[in-house]
Amino acid sequence: MSMSDSRPVRVRFAPSPTGPLHIGGVRTALYNYLLARQLGGTMILRIEDTDQTRYVPGAEAYILESLKWVGIEIDEGPENGGPHAPYRQSERKPMYRQYAEALIEKGLAYYAFDTEEDLDAMRKRLEASKMQPAYDAVSRMGMKNSLTLGQDEVKARLESGDPYVIRIKLPRKEEVRFHDEIRGWVVVNSSTMDDKVLLKSDGMPTYHLANVVDDYLMGISHVIRGEEWLPSAPLHVMLYRYLGWEEVMPKFAHLPLLLKPEGNGKLSKRDGDRLGFPVFPLQWTDPKSGETSSGYRESGYFPEAVANMLALLGWHPSDNRELFSMAELIEAFSLEKVSKSGAKFDVNKAHWFNQQYLSNTSDEQLMEVVWAQFQELYGNDIDREYALKVLALLREKFQFAKDIAPAAHFFYGRPASYDEAAIAKKWKEDTNASLLGLAEAFAAASASDAEGFEACFRAACEALGKKTGELMQPMRIALSGEAMGPPIFELLALLGAAEVVDRLKLAAEKISA
Ligand code: GLU
């Protein structure tokens, strides 16, 4: 990308609201955003909803919320408006027809009146003679369109309201070339392309027409989108040429696919829940089937970790660094370093990223993330200072912030049960008696910190004639119900002597060896 380009940098993310935004779509939005911010450009969100049959309620709101969650800011879009509003294609419907008609005027497009049956018959005919079953420069001359019907008939059909579409008229054999910022030169012969519909019979533009017209009208400088749109690019290039907009044609960059963790193939909606990771940024419940797919947010990922991980799926910084804040990504990102080949999704790496972000947050920052969950689980009136101490004790073992609060239950109440397997292993005839001995010792001493409790425990073990190792686990189980947990004397200190004494007595009463 040359910085000397005088054109203002304007990029767009142009999703269709046909369902939840896939994590690959979030990556596309992210790359657009990084480039926009790096080059002082504008990030546009355009909702491509011309295919009313695929419209899914809630999908647009989901897209907006996902982008916000990941930290992608939109400068112009349906929510915040902008100089090219509206940013929803269905609301721009009246704008597109004139361009399709202008092409007809120039002899570069035509009306086609073929019915479904006509089209079917054409496909069958061509398939039977081993030809490409396409409506193209060859087959169009055998169809019902304004190239084959007389002028009068065309006029009559239009006047009587016969349904029609407008198709682009492609040259029979011509090279279509364009430069892709990631793939280099792409060359396609028009003989392999078909006369795509530009305007549908309901008067709506197709994706191709609306996309190109809007990119032009909105002054888009770079089209950065997924590889699945590469086959459409030659047609878009032809549209720029036909409409006389070649001079301002955006630069194209087609991003590599996100692949399944195992083997090849595009990462699909079903892979996530099958392999234990989300493929959607936020949880999504399908409005029709009621089926719920998990999201990164609800699975406890930090949005910063997700943005960082996504940026590196397909883009390689010049050094081997892996941790980047959004500001650092903006500085380091470049389209030249986006790879051509697909990027394999790696679940362990996703966990790793999250853990990095988790361990880099301060206790206070982490508390911000989990406080609502603590309150939900343990009551709105719980003490924040105490919760902060609990969090500091527990956090080390976790990859996900959301797992911390549920693991804190024994700081907020006595064990409802005790780990049976651990009891079977650790309890002896006299273990309960020893626990009562410990209770007595803690009651008599006035320990308040971890060191104090440890000293008291050691002295008590000696007095009871027990090794510390023999009573350590039973004491933990008595206090927490669990065989594993935070550093034991810190746990005692946080519970406080009175509670410790009560829990030891309770365990001695409830647990039978
Ligand atoms: N509406 C297309 C999509 O859903 C946009 C493709 C493009 O960016 O041109 O991804």
In the chain the domains, ranked by start, together with CATH numbers, are 414-510 (1.10.10.350)
Spatial separation of the C-alpha atoms in residues 433 and 511, rounded to whole Å:
11
Confidence grade of residue 1 (pLDDT, cut at 50, 70, 90): very low
Residue that wins the pLDDT comparison between 469 and 263: 469
Say yes or no to pLDDT of 45 above 80.
Answer: yes
The pLDDT of 228-233, averaged and rounded, is 97
Is residue 4 scored above 60 in pLDDT? no
If phi > 0 it is left, if psi is from -120 to 50 it is alpha, else beta; for residue 24 that is alpha
Token pair 């036909």: residue = 242
Say if ligand 1 is within 6 A of residue 221 CB: no
18, 43, 54, 225, best to mutate for ligand 1 pocket (most atoms within 8 Å of CB)? 225
Tell me the HSE value of 199 on the side-chain side, using a 13 A CA sphere. 23
Distance from the alpha carbon of residue 426 to the mean position of ligand 1, in angstroms: 62
Ligand 1 binding pocket mutation candidate from 22, 207, 209, 257 (most atoms within 8 A of CB): 207
Q: Which of 116-120, 267-271, 293-297, 462-466 has the lowest mean pLDDT?
A: 267-271
Q: What is the DSSP letter of 437?
A: H
Q: Across the chain, what does the average pLDDT equal?
A: 95
pLDDT tens, position by position, 386-399? 999 999 999 998 98
Residue 265's pLDDT is 83
Q: Which of 10, 12, 13, 16 to mutate to test the pocket of ligand 1 (most atoms within 8 A of CB)?
A: 16
For ligand 1, say whether the CB of 14 is within 6 Å of any of its atoms: yes
For residue 30, the model assigns a pLDDT of 98
Phi, psi of 187 (to 5 degrees): -125, 130
Q: What's the rounded Cα separation, in Å, for the pair 497 and 503? A: 10
User: Per-residue confidence at 272, pLDDT binned at 50, 70, 90?
Assistant: confident
C-alpha 489/C-alpha 503 separation (Å) is 15
Phi-psi region of 473 (alpha: psi -120 to 50; beta: other; left: phi over 0): alpha
Average pLDDT over residues 469-495: 97
CB atoms within 10 A of CB 32: 25
Confidence of residue 277 (pLDDT cuts 50, 70, 90): confident
Report the catalytic residues.
269
When pLDDT is cut at 50, 70 and 90, the band that residue 5 belongs to is low
Determine whether the shortest distance from the Cβ of 225 to ligand 1 is under 6 A. yes
Q: HSE (CB half, 13 Å, CA atoms) of 122?
A: 18
pLDDT tens for residues 77-125?
999 999 999 999 999 999 999 999 999 999 999 999 999 999 999 999 9
Tell how far the Cα of 275 is from the centroid of ligand 1, in angstroms: 27
Give the number of the atom of ligand 1 that is nearest the alpha carbon of residue 13: 8
* Cα separation, 75 vs 63, whole angstroms: 15
Token pair recorded at residue 365: 């920052």
Contact (CB, 8 A) for 277 and 350 = yes
Residues near 279 by beta carbon (within 8 Å), at least 6 away in sequence: 22, 23, 267, 268, 269, 271, 272, 293
| Neighbouring-strand partners of residue 12 | 44
Mean of the pLDDT values across residues 173-181?
97
Residue 307 is predicted with a pLDDT of 98
Ligand 1 atom 5: residue of nearest CA: 14
- 406-434 mean pLDDT: 96
pLDDT exceeds cutoff 80 at 264: no
The first and second tokens of residue 176, run together, are 């279509």
For ligand 1, whether the C-beta of 126 sits within 6 Å is no
Q: How far is the CA of 47 from the centre of ligand 1 (A)?
A: 9
% of the chain with per-residue pLDDT over 90: 90
Q: What is the pLDDT of residue 260?
A: 86
**pLDDT tens, 109-165?**
999 999 999 999 999 999 999 988 999 999 999 999 999 999 999 999 999 999 999
Structure tokens at 100: 């399709």
| pLDDT higher than 70, residue 249 | yes
Question: The tokens of 220 are what?
Answer: 């888009």
Q: Please determine, for residue 3, whether its predicted confidence score (pLDDT) is greater than 50.
A: no
Within 10 angstroms of residue 93's Cβ, the number of other Cβ atoms is 16
- Phi, then psi, of 308 in degrees rounded to 5: -60, -45
Nearest-angstrom CA–CA distance, 72 and 176: 35
Overall average pLDDT of the 364-376 stretch: 96
Question: What average pLDDT does range 451-455 have in this prediction?
Answer: 97
Do residues 511 and 418 lie in contact, with contact meaning Cβ atoms separated by under 8 Å?
yes
Is the distance from the beta carbon of residue 211 to the nearest atom of ligand 1 less than 6 Å? yes
Q: What is the pTM of this model?
A: 0.87
Q: 222-226 and 251-255 as β-strands: parallel, antiparallel, unpaired?
A: parallel
Beta bridge partners of 88: 47
Mean of the pLDDT values across residues 392-416?
95
Residue 503 is encoded by which pair of tokens? 């829990």
Per-residue confidence (pLDDT) for residue 2, from 0 to 100? 47
Residue 183 has pLDDT above 90, yes or no: yes
Average pLDDT over residues 157-183: 97
Q: Rounded to whole angstroms, how far apart are CA atoms 216 and 246?
A: 10
Q: Which atom of ligand 1 is nearest to the CA of 215?
A: 9
